């Protein structure tokens, strides 16, 4: 019987939405947290896209890993697919992570598909702020998503300089 982990790097960290029995800080190598996904559903619309986080190639990402009991694995996977694969901008992958306790584990995670129309690529702070400001979708305002994620990252001791710069500009915008 192997352990089933889910890796969260954005809103899954502060709103996982599924039962789990353990949470640990974890690092995913080869991918980085990036505001690189145009949101057509949760934080924007096709007419006025918002901008949300994705795991993009390069670097590494510090996030949270959630251990899910075996008897809930199927239910959690179904929930995550419904939540994360709405427009198929993410690809579901099992990737190696290193847990805070030093152990390596395999974790279910969602990586951005660079070929998808919603992939925004690397954006500078000004462009990201302009895309986020005023956007709203079925899960609420885009600014709220970015600021909640940033506050959660800070609360658990994770620094993200680009996200922090975007957050400072959003907070300063009337």
pLDDT (tens digit per residue) in 52-109: 999 999 999 999 999 999 999 999 999 999 999 989 999 999 999 999 999 999 999 9
Q: Which fold has domain 4-172?
A: Hypothetical upf0131 protein ytfp (3.10.490)
pLDDT in tens, 106-153: 999 999 999 999 999 999 999 999 999 999 999 999 999 999 999 999
Q: How many CB atoms lie within 10 A of CB 154?
A: 14
Distance of alpha carbon 114 from alpha carbon 116, whole angstroms? 6
84 is an active site residue? yes
Name the residue ranges covered by the structural domains of the chain: 4-172
Report the predicted TM-score, pTM, of the whole model to 2 decimal places.
0.92
Cβ-proximal residues to 171 (8 Å cutoff; 6+ apart), any chain: 147
Residue 86, exposed/middle/buried by CB under 10 A (0-12, 13-18, 19+)? Answer: middle
Which one is catalytic: 82, 84, 143, 144?
A: 84
């Amino acid at each position: 019987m192997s352990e089933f982990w889910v890796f969260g790097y954005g809103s899954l960290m502060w709103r996982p939405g599924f039962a789990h029995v353990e949470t640990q800080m974890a690092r995913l190598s080869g991918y980085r947290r990036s505001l690189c996904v145009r949101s057509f559903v949760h934080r924007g619309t096709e007419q006025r896209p918002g901008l949300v986080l994705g795991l993009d190639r390069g670097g590494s990402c510090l996030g949270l890993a959630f251990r899910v009991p075996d008897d809930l694995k199927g239910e959690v996977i179904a929930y995550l697919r419904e939540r994360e694969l709405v427009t198929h901008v993410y690809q579901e992958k099992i990737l190696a992570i290193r847990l805070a306790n030093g152990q390596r584990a395999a974790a279910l995670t969602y990586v951005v598909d660079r070929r998808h129309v919603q992939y925004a690529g690397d954006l500078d702070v000004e462009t990201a702020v302009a895309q986020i400001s005023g956007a709203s979708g079925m899960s609420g305002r885009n600014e709220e998503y970015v600021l909640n994620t940033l506050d959660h990252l800070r609360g658990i001791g994770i620094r993200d300089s680009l996200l922090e710069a975007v957050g400072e500009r959003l907070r300063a915008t009337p």
